[in-house]
């Protein structure tokens, strides 16, 4: 695909309504639908804009095997923030040398897994965000490719909970990086620096994004002799219908300008940007309740299906697939869980929902199914991948038996 030949954002009402109805009929709801053609379009657009950078996929956005495989086959290496993500990437067919492990307070079992993988694949790069992690790696015999995560002291993004660039949990303070790098060079093959400013960065966040990257670039220049400087991801997508997409060409120009004097490869880790608008969540209306204050619309999806509205107060557009031509009414859409947090929207204009209607919730391809849980003993949903005219089930729906399977297999259960 020619870079720039696909639109920079896919709006929810652009999905094929008839196809979504067929998928819901065939696979029941709630149902995640991932469009792999759209993933490839997003990869082509991003790599076309950042043609000077080494682009990796931040797997935490969506670790589904089919999604990881689609992104990797489109040409990207994979960045993993946990050992479980390394395992998932390997299961998806990614070669170990195409992986990067970015540890955050890694449990012992995670470090054991990563070091075992490195022993068979010395090309694996491990990123450390604390001096003690260096000691823990050395104690396991690791002396391979290492990057140091920098905390620039500036964070940005769509919510305080994702502004990692100013959270002390993440990385070495930028004014201490040089001493940690000096120590690391005595013990490992120090190949890079890493930083991540935040998640969901859009136009209003770019000034802070630039200031944070300037700090990382300045540290990289002082440290010198690096193979790469990894500036993370965080590239946002518009969740609201009236929001403009990120001007990717302008962001690329900014990154190129900030890193012009850095004598190292620039690496980037988009996640959300590649997969968010490639996913929708389908859910059926089961209950309509008229009250003095609102038209309450009950659906079979819940916060255990998709938690972002409850966790981040995140906006996700809701579209009535079945009744798109009806007059809008103010509706509050919520699931079956016994908590007031189990809502997808409140008093939002939606073409009048009726029992049996199919609703679509947009931009769920990132941090949607990966944050699904069994809270309230809700079986996790199924997932379908569409690829051209093909549609295939890539994750089966959990059953009630799955809810108790691990307990059934536990030897101590009577």
Per-residue model confidence as pLDDT tens digits over 303-327? 999 999 999 899 999 999 999 999 9
Q: Count the alpha carbons within 13 Å of 376 in the hemisphere toward its beta carbon.
A: 16
pLDDT tier at 202, thresholds 50, 70, 90: low
Could you give the C-alpha distances from 333 to 137, 303, 352, in angstroms and in order? 48, 11, 12
Q: What is the predicted pLDDT for the residue at 204? A: 66
- Residue 162 pLDDT exceeds 70: no
Domains and CATH numbers, the chain: 36-272 (3.20.20.10), 277-407 (2.40.37.10)
pLDDT > 60? residue 160: no
The larger pLDDT score, comparing residue 88 to residue 163, is at: 88
What are the residue numbers of the active site? 338
Distance, in Å, from the CA atom of 163 to the CA atom of 170, rounded to the nearest integer, reads 10
Residue 60's alpha-carbon distances to 8, 225, 330, 342, 413, in angstroms, are 22, 30, 35, 23, 33
Q: Is the pLDDT of residue 2 over 80?
A: no
* Secondary structure element (H or E) that encloses residue 183, with its range: helix 177-187
DSSP 8-state code for residue 201 = B
Looking at residue 411, what is its pLDDT? 87
3-state SS class at 99 = strand
| Dihedral in degrees, nearest 10, Cα atoms 241, 244, 249, 251 | -110
Residue 159 pLDDT: 37
Res 240 pLDDT > 70? yes
CB 81 within 8 A of CB 104: yes
Short-list 300, 299, 312, CA closest to 366: 312
* 58 alpha carbon, distance to own chain's centre: 7
Distance CA 258, CA 271 (A): 22
Say what the pLDDT of residue 385 is.
Answer: 98
Query: 369 — phi, psi (to 5°)?
Result: -65, -25
Which spans in 243-329 are helix H? 248-258, 272-275, 308-312
Q: How confident is the model at residue 412 (pLDDT cuts 50, 70, 90)?
A: confident
Distance from C-alpha of 298 to C-alpha of 67, rounded to nearest angstrom? 30
CA distance 228 to 26: 47
Average pLDDT estimate for 197-216: 76
Give 164-177 pLDDT, tens digit per residue: 444 567 789 888 99
Task: Give the pLDDT confidence score for residue 161 in this predicted structure.
Answer: 40
* Residues in Cβ contact with 413 at an 8 Å cutoff, skipping those fewer than 6 apart: 407
Q: Which pLDDT value is given to residue 207? A: 81
pLDDT of residue 413: 73
Q: Are 383 and 32 in contact (CB under 8 A)?
A: yes
Predicted confidence (pLDDT) at residue 158 exceeds the cutoff of 60: no
Q: How confident is the model at residue 333 (pLDDT cuts 50, 70, 90)?
A: very high
State the average pLDDT over residues 291-313. 93
In this prediction, residues 258-272 reach a mean pLDDT of 96
Residues 266, 52: contact at Cβ < 8 Å?
yes
Residue range 119-138: mean pLDDT, rounded: 96
Cα–Cα distance between 92 and 125 in angstroms, integer?
19
Is residue 270 within 8 A of residue 39, CB to CB? The reply is no
Strands 125-128 and 318-320 come out as unpaired
Phi, psi dihedral angles at 235 (to 5 degrees) = -65, 120
How does pLDDT run across 366-385, given as a tens digit for each residue?
999 999 999 999 999 999 99
For residue 233, pLDDT over 50 is answered with yes
First to last CA, the chain: 58
DSSP-derived pairing of the beta strands 390-395 and 53-58: unpaired
Which residues, 6+ apart, have CB-to-CB distance to 370 below 8 Å?
A: 60, 61, 62, 63, 64
Q: What is the pLDDT of residues 34-90, one digit of tens each?
A: 999 999 999 999 999 999 999 999 999 999 999 999 999 999 999 999 999 999 999
Q: Alpha helices of 188-313 — where are they, by DSSP H?
A: 206-223, 248-258, 272-275, 308-312
What's the mean pLDDT when you consider all of the chain?
A: 92
User: Is the pLDDT score of 25 beyond 80?
Assistant: yes
* pLDDT at position 7: 86
**Per-residue confidence at 197, pLDDT binned at 50, 70, 90?**
confident
Average pLDDT over residues 201-222: 83
CA dist 212 and 170 (Å) reads 14
Task: Give the SS3 label for residue 397.
Answer: coil
Angle at 89 between CA 87 and CA 92, to 5 degrees: 110
């Amino acid at each position: 695909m020619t870079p720039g030949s696909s639109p920079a954002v896919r709006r929810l009402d652009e999905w094929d309504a008839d196809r979504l109805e067929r998928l819901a009929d065939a696979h029941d709801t709630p149902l995640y639908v991932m469009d792999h053609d759209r993933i490839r379009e997003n990869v082509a657009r991003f790599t076309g804009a950042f043609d000077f950078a080494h682009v990796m996929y931040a797997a935490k956005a969506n670790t589904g095997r089919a999604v990881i495989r689609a992104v990797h086959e489109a040409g990207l290496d994979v960045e993993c923030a946990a050992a479980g993500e390394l395992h998932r990437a390997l299961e998806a067919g990614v070669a170990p040398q195409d992986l990067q492990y970015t540890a955050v307070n890694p449990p012992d079992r995670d470090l054991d897994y990563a070091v075992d993988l490195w022993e068979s694949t010395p090309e694996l790069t491990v990123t450390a965000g604390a001096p003690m992690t260096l000691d823990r790696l050395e104690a396991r015999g690791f002396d391979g490719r290492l990057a140091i995560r920098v905390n620039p002291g500036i964070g940005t993004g769509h919510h305080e909970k994702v502004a990692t660039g100013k959270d002390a949990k993440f990385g070495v303070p930028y004014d201490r990086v040089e001493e940690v790098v000096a120590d690391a060079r005595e013990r490992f093959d120090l190949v890079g620096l890493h930083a991540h400013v935040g998640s969901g960065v859009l136009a209003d966040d770019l000034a802070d994004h630039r200031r944070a990257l300037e700090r990382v670039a300045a540290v990289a220049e002082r440290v010198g002799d690096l193979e790469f400087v990894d500036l993370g991801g965080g590239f946002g997508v518009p969740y609201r219908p009236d929001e403009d997409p990120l001007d990717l060409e302008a962001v690329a120009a900014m990154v190129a300008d900030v890193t012009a004097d850095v004598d190292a490869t620039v690496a980037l880790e988009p996640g959300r940007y590649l997969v968010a608008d490639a996913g929708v969540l389908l859910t059926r209306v089961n209950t309509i309740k008229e009250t003095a204050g609102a038209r309450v619309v009950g659906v079979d999806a819940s916060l255990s299906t998709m938690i972002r509205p409850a966790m981040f107060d995140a906006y996700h557009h809701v579209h009535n697939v079945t009744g798109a031509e009806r007059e809008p009414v103010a509706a509050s859409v919520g699931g079956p869980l016994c908590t007031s947090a189990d809502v997808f929207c409140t008093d939002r204009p939606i073409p009048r929902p009726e029992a049996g209607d199919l609703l679509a919730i947009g931009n769920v391809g990132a941090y949607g199914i990966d944050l699904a849980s069994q809270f309230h003993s809700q079986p996790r949903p199924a997932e379908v991948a569409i690829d051209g005219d093909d549609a295939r089930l890539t994750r089966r729906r959990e059953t009630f038996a799955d809810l108790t399977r691990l307990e059934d297999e536990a030897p101590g259960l009577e």
